[in-house]
Amino acid sequence: MTLKDLNKGEKGAVETLAGGVAHDFNNLLMAIQGRACLMLKDLKPSHPFYRHVSEIIRSVNKGAEITGQLLGFARAGKYHVEPIELNRLVISSLRKLALSDKGIKLETDLSEDSLICEVDQHQIRLVLMNVLENAIVAMPNGGELTIVTESARIVNSSAESRGLKPGKFAKITVSDTGVGMDKETLQRVFDPFYTTRCMGDGHGKGLGLAASHGIIRNHGGVIEVWSTVNVGTSFSIVLSQLEDSDRLDCGVHQEEMLMGFETILLVDDEEIILEMGREVLEELGYRVATAISGDAALEIFQSGEEFDLVVLDMIMPGMDGPETFRRLQEINPDVRVLISTGHTIDSAAEGMLDAGCKGFILKPFSISAFSYKLREVLES
């Protein structure tokens, strides 16, 4: 049975399960990453444990990629969207590939115009890397890998047949001269866990292209494929393009940590997250109080202590994040809240942002990224 064989309710149940598993796993990764980052901060590169701790963090990041695929497969598979320039994303992704030792020649034809899309950068990079890695595996004896980016305006008839809204789109096309796929394989290429690769070679396991399909679908785009056996394969990623290039923010966070001094209330239903979060925030210079539930957060918030910021988990038993935020606003309409969660941005999180939450950060995150987000929210 494949995902296509399930009815709407069954698909929803599978997607909800995938999102729930990813949420819990991200919380666990957050605890591991936080502790590892705290250790690494106090180690010199010459220390014998430095390399081991660095590898732990690398493993956490790899685990986060897996949960990224799960969340992309889930119904609300977007984390945090922002304007990005697709050509830059393509170039940075290509730098991660080792092609010369595989006998693969790379050709690029990137649009001279900026291709700016409002997307989750992490997830679109996952999709692009997945497609690129599939192309490389399809050319075991070498070949040509071609990446083309372009802008296109899709009109009513073409848009409707592809499940798109008419408008301006950016397209990334990745083509290879590999083994290609037959008609049966093309029909199943986006099914979960389906692969034509040898299952013993370490490739083709997991959600793969099914996750990529879900991610692009949840961004309002499409991923399309054409292939001919012994000729090659082309994947096209089509995403809605912004008309206003001025919305692009190309700032890049450095690995340094920004210090603070304000008072923060950290709210999460996981004890390990609270303990680690307290230590991280105190390491960054903040005064910290913690609450393990929405009720506890309200009690502490009304205790007379003045808080400059509340870092709030979204999914908690009893009073969840959205309800806690609403009650906090009743106490202080000007309360500053940063959403911190191992789940995706969904309608509830979007509603909180529309109602006045100052930002969103997805677990697991590095101390450096957290420190920048804190300053961004506190100084906004």
Assign 3-class secondary structure to 37-65.
Answer: HHHHHCCCCCCCCHHHHHHHHHHHHHHHH
pLDDT tens, position by position, 251-274? 333 357 889 999 999 999 888 889
- So what's the pLDDT on residue 205? 41
Q: In CATH, what is the architecture of 263-378?
A: 3-Layer(aba) Sandwich (3.40)
From-to residues of CATH 3.30.565.10 in the chain: 82-247
Task: Give the whole-angstrom CA distance, residue 346 versus residue 154.
Answer: 27
Spatial contact of 140 and 86, defined as CB atoms under 8 Å apart: no
- So what's the pLDDT on residue 204? 41
CA of residue 270 relative to chain centroid, distance: 22
- So what's the pLDDT on residue 292? 95
> From its phi and psi, is residue 43 left (phi > 0), alpha (psi between -120 and 50) or beta?
beta
Cβ within 8 Å of residue 338, ≥6 positions away: 309, 310, 311, 312, 357, 358, 359, 360, 361, 373, 374, 377
Spatial contact of 176 and 145, defined as CB atoms under 8 Å apart: yes
Sheet containing 232-240: order of strands: 104-109, 143-154, 167-176, 232-240, 222-228
Cβ within 8 Å of residue 26, ≥6 positions away: 64, 67, 342, 343, 362, 363, 364
From-to residues of CATH 3.40.50.2300 in the chain: 263-378
Residue 334: HSE in the Cβ half-sphere, 13 Å Cα cutoff: 5
> From its phi and psi, is residue 194 left (phi > 0), alpha (psi between -120 and 50) or beta?
beta
| Mean pLDDT, 10 residues at a time, the chain of 380 residues | 52 62 75 81 83 83 70 56 85 77 88 87 86 91 94 79 84 95 87 53 52 84 93 94 54 62 93 88 93 95 92 90 94 93 67 85 82 89
- So what's the pLDDT on residue 171? 94
List Cα–Cα distances, 20 to 16, 89, 338, in angstroms: 6, 29, 21
The CATH topology of domain 3-73 is Helix Hairpins (1.10.287)
- So what's the pLDDT on residue 324? 95
* Sign of the CA dihedral running 91, 92, 95, 97: negative
Spatial contact of 243 and 174, defined as CB atoms under 8 Å apart: no
- So what's the pLDDT on residue 374? 94
- So what's the pLDDT on residue 206? 42
- So what's the pLDDT on residue 328? 95
Strands 143-154 and 104-109: parallel
The CATH topology of domain 82-247 is Heat Shock Protein 90 (3.30.565)
In the block, tokens 């906004």 appear at 380
- So what's the pLDDT on residue 352? 84
The pair phi, psi for residue 157, each rounded to 5°, is -65, -45
Model pTM score: 0.53
- So what's the pLDDT on residue 18? 64
From-to residues of CATH 1.10.287.130 in the chain: 3-73
